[in-house]
Amino acid sequence: MVCKLDRLASSTRDLLNTLDTIGKAGATFKSLGDAWADTTTPAGKLMLTVLGGLSEYERHLILTGTAEGRRAQANGVRFGRKPSLTAYQRAEALRRRAAGETLTEIITFASRPPARDLRQVPLHPSRASYPCFA
């Protein structure tokens, strides 16, 4: 008994070998999450084979995409949201924080929603010189 078919096997061949082993032991296979995954009927066996192949194909696409992303990142591509503060606003915020102003006072000068910008300003003035905030 498994919750999802993709947790049973990593490839179509592995799935078919596992199902064959289960069948030779005199048992049948049913998935809790996938009602069609049932080896007690010929249609269920067909669906397991076809969808097992599609699952393997999907895993291959995911691996290819993540590998491309890692290569792009190694070549200097940055992912995620662009910084909401300009270079001047960021430098000014760090200067003000080092001078001891509160985060609320600092964020108001940029006239932006504070939640987005708080990550770019150190929580404590003594951390304003850390390399990650430079």
Structural domain includes residue 95: yes
Domain of residue 117: give its range: 87-133
Q: Return d(Cα 80, Cα 66) in angstroms, integer.
A: 15
pTM score, whole prediction: 0.49
Structural domain includes residue 82: no
- Final residue in a domain of this structure, among 35, 52, 74: 74
The residues, ordered by sequence, that sit 6+ positions from 38 with a Cβ below 8 Å of its Cβ are 28, 29, 30, 31, 44
User: What's the domain count of the chain?
Assistant: 2
Both 65 and 117 in one domain: the answer is no
CA angle 128, 133, 134 (to 5 degrees): 95
pLDDT of residue 130: 47
The pLDDT averaged over each successive group of 10 residues in the chain (134 residues) is: 71 83 87 77 84 84 93 89 78 85 75 56 55 44
pLDDT of residue 127: 54
Concatenating the DSSP letter of every residue in the chain gives -BSSGGGT-SSHHHHHHHHHHHHHTT---BBSS-TT-BTTSHHHHHHHHHHHHHHHHHHHHHHHHHHHHHHHHHTTPPPSPPPSS-HHHHHHHHHHHHTT--HHHHHHHHTS-HHHHGGGS-SSGGGTTSGGG-
Structural domain includes residue 22: yes
Both 69 and 15 in one domain: the answer is yes
